[in-house]
Copies of this chain bind each other. A is one copy, B any other.
Amino acid sequence: MVIKLTERKSHILHLVIKEYIKNGNPVSSKLLCEKYKPGYSSATIRNDLATLEKKGYLTHPYTSAGRIPTDEGYRYYIKDLMEIQRLTHEEERRIKNEFNNQMIELDKVMHQTSKMLAMVSECSGFTMAPNLTESLVEYIELTKIGTNKLLVLMVTEEGLVKHRIIQCSEDLTQIKIKQISKIINKRLHGKKISEVKKNILNILETEKYEQELIFNIAQDLTNELFNLVDENNFFFEESPNFLGNVDIDEETYELVKQKEVMHNILENVKNTKQGVKILIGNDSPLKNCSLITSAYKLGENSVGVLGIIGPKRMKYSKMVSLVDYISKMFDK
């Protein structure tokens, strides 16, 4: 399926795409000639451009306009032409800094990471939290923080922290809370969250001490914590000038905001490949955008996806490094 290109044509395609990514204007034979002095006349280049168009890598918006890359063109570029551009030390430093602080609480990590991606890419960053339902409960801490109010804190085997505040029907004493906490931990430690979700009552069943009380709290826990493990698991952040400067249309924007859409796209990515994966134009329902994504691992079993959404003419060479670098930070 992939058609071989001569050295020169390949080079010209490279130049067109680089130029277009940089300036966003259709690029003409004359410009290439003058700016890059390839040692051939504009006419020759014109011929090459024409063949590149015939092969499907370029197109032009109207007769007398310069060329712009097609989706296929971008794909060829990414596969065969692009030299990956490493992050600068400054950028790596900034990222590392962010990661050194506070990075245990799941929601915070995700949020921070998305922001990071958005900032460095200057378009938009997202993070889909790993599905924790197959993770094991390390322990659960109950702390009273007011009448009828408990702070529940769960730590998973991977060391991730999730917390919620729950409202109890009864006002419990510190001592009782401690007792209950002990019992719950004894029973839930090492269990899969998915299992806990389904079976919490059974798991706690045989305990005789304050059975009813424990059941009530268990119910609250399920509602407020275990059932919410999956919720809020898509974080999206954009750089200030993303929508303003850049050619993303409203429609696409709406799509991004719909969690299910993104979920589908990313679930796909997660299951197909290791490392950085790039979706261009029609590859995803976000037809006018490209996505640069990578799966990441937290501990053994928890896999999430993170990445960048931006215009097709984004700096792939740099963005690949960025996404790769950050996803590797997670794997530690």
Is A161 a contact of B145 with CB atoms below 8 Å? yes
Q: Is A171 an interface residue (CB 8 A)?
A: no
Query: Which residues of the other chain, B, contact A104 by a CB distance below 8 angstroms?
Result: 145-146, 149, 165
Is A159 a contact of B146 with CB atoms below 8 Å? yes
Residue of B nearest to A102 (CB): B165
Query: Which residues of the other chain, B, contact A161 by a CB distance below 8 angstroms?
Result: 145, 151, 165
Bound Cα distance A240, B253 (Å): 9
Query: Which one of B141, B159, B243 contacts A244 once the chains associate, using CB atoms below 8 Å?
Result: B243
Bound Cα distance A66, B4 (Å): 64
Mark each residue of chain A from 131 to 162: 1 if its CB lies under 8 Å from any CB of chain B, else 0. 00000000001010110010101010001010
Q: Is A250 an interface residue (CB 8 A)?
A: yes
Bound Cα distance A161, B153 (Å): 13
Q: Is A186 an interface residue (CB 8 A)?
A: no
Quick one: which of A149-187 are within 8 Å of B by CB?
A: 149, 151, 153, 155, 159, 161, 163-165
Q: Is A96 an interface residue (CB 8 A)?
A: no
Bound Cα distance A266, B323 (Å): 38
Bound Cα distance A77, B104 (Å): 52
In the complex, how many residues of chain A place their beta carbon closer than 8 angstroms to a beta carbon of chain B? 22
Chain B proximity of A241: nearest CB distance (Å) = 8
Chain B proximity of A155: nearest CB distance (Å) = 5
Bound Cα distance A161, B151 (Å): 10
Q: Is A30 an interface residue (CB 8 A)?
A: no
Query: Which residues of the other chain, B, contact A244 by a CB distance below 8 angstroms?
Result: 243, 250
Query: Which residues of the other chain, B, contact A153 by a CB distance below 8 angstroms?
Result: 143, 145, 151
Residue of B nearest to A250 (CB): B244
Residue of B nearest to A143 (CB): B141
Query: Which one of B102, B141, B165, B257 contacts A240 once the chains associate, using CB atoms below 8 Å?
Result: B257
Of the candidates A165, A244, A250, the one having the most CB atoms from chain B within 10 angstroms of its own CB is: A165
Chain B proximity of A248: nearest CB distance (Å) = 11
Chain B proximity of A304: nearest CB distance (Å) = 20
Mark each residue of chain A from 193 to 222: 1 if its CB lies under 8 Å from any CB of chain B, else 0. 000000000000000000000000000000
Query: Which residues of the other chain, B, contact A145 by a CB distance below 8 angstroms?
Result: 104, 153, 155, 159, 161
Q: Is A230 an interface residue (CB 8 A)?
A: no
A sample of 18 cross-chain residue pairs with beta-carbon separation below 8 angstroms, ordered by A number, consists of: A102-B164, A102-B165, A104-B149, A105-B165, A143-B143, A143-B153, A145-B153, A145-B155, A145-B159, A145-B161, A146-B155, A151-B153, A151-B161, A161-B165, A163-B163, A240-B253, A240-B257, A243-B244
Please give the residue numbers on chain A whose beta carbons come within 8 Å of chain B beta carbons, in ascending order. 102, 104-105, 141, 143, 145-146, 149, 151, 153, 155, 159, 161, 163-165, 240, 243-244, 250, 253, 257
Given contacts A146-B159, A151-B153, 13 further A-B contacts (CB under 8 A): A102-B164, A104-B145, A104-B149, A104-B165, A145-B153, A145-B155, A145-B159, A145-B161, A151-B161, A161-B165, A163-B163, A240-B253, A244-B250
Task: For the complex of A and B, list the 8 residue pairs with the smallest distance between their C-beta atoms, beginning with the closest.
Answer: A146-B159, A145-B155, A104-B165, A141-B143, A102-B165, A145-B161, A105-B165, A104-B149
